[in-house]
Amino acid sequence: NNNIVVAIDGPAGAGKSTVARAVAERIGLPYLDTGALYRAIAWKLDREGIAPEDGERISQALASFRLEFIPGGLMADGTDVTAAIRTPEIDRIVSAYAARPEVRGALIELQRAQAKNGLVADGRDMGTVVFPEAELKIFLTASAEERARRRYKERLDRGEAADYDEILKQVVERDNYDMTREIAPLRPAPGCIILDSSYMDAAQVTDAISSLASRFM
Ligand code: C5P
């Protein structure tokens, strides 16, 4: 049986997407970046001037909102938003939208539908809410300083300006928001393996998770 689900959760900048993508390729399963879905919704609602507090308008807007996967990216209502959802501005606003029940409800079935042939998925509630029956659940974390350092380096590598202290502050704020929200808060799922990657590189984390996953395949 190769149709296993590997659920990877953890705080911002722990390396989830890098590692999840590499694990998926290694073990031959599709990869789903659920943070991108929340980012695309935040992008859309913000552009339409809809505040995170406005549940009614959020529901209305989401009723006709179309998300489509394209190779290596995401389309929102026919616009390629792959790059637009990776800005510091979206980093800053995404969690307030992601805390809304209307937003989370709109994404549950879409996420589960991707798992028909097995899946490696990363996010905040993969193991706790979306895929509680996943064969393998990983909570991938690292110290806040190390996570901020990785984000900082990512930005510099992309040729963008970056301020380490500012990034650290934002990373800590976003994690607190995600961990203390009422619906689907970020926390280790029952039965998960907690992996601290503070002193591991992406290749080591990928090896560790792939070898755990292969036991179920
Ligand atoms: O993983 P990424 O940084 O792209 O996630 C952006 C935000 O989307 C998170 O800070 C969180 O608020 C939200 N999110 C979520 N549930 C998920 C994935 C992301 O609430 N499964």
Find the 72 Cα to ligand 1 centroid distance in Å: 18
Residues with Cβ within 8 Å of 159's Cβ and at least 6 positions away in sequence, in order, are none
Read off the pLDDT of residues 64-106 as tens digits, 9 standing for 90 and up.
999 999 998 999 999 999 999 999 899 999 999 999 999 999 9
Structure tokens at 158: 């992309």
Give the per-residue pLDDT at 27.
97
3-state secondary structure of 163: coil
ipTM of the complex: 0.99
Q: What is the pLDDT of residue 2?
A: 80
- CA 144 to chain centroid, in Å, comes to 17
Distance (Å, whole) CA 171 – CA 181: 16
CA-proximal residue: ligand 1, atom 16 (nearest): 124
pLDDT one-digit tens code per residue, 124-162 = 999 999 999 999 999 999 999 999 999 999 999 999 999
Tell me the C-alpha distance between 61 and 141, whole Å.
34
Residue type, 94: V
Task: Output the pTM of the full model.
Answer: 0.96
Supply φ then ψ for residue 80, to 5 degrees.
-75, 110
Q: What is the pLDDT of residue 174?
A: 96
d(C-alpha 170, C-alpha 90), whole Å = 12
What value, to the nearest 5°, has the Cα angle with vertex 89 and ends 138 and 55? 80
pLDDT, position 151: 92
Report pLDDT for 1: 64
Q: Which residues line ligand 1 (CB under 6 A)?
A: 12, 34-35, 38-39, 94-95, 98, 123-125, 174, 178
Question: Quick one: tokens of 2?
Answer: 């190769």
- Other CB atoms within a 10 A radius of the CB of residue 185 amount to 15
Apex 205 CA angle, 139 and 212, nearest 5? 70
The residues near 177 (Cβ < 8 Å, ≥ 6 apart) are 95, 96, 99
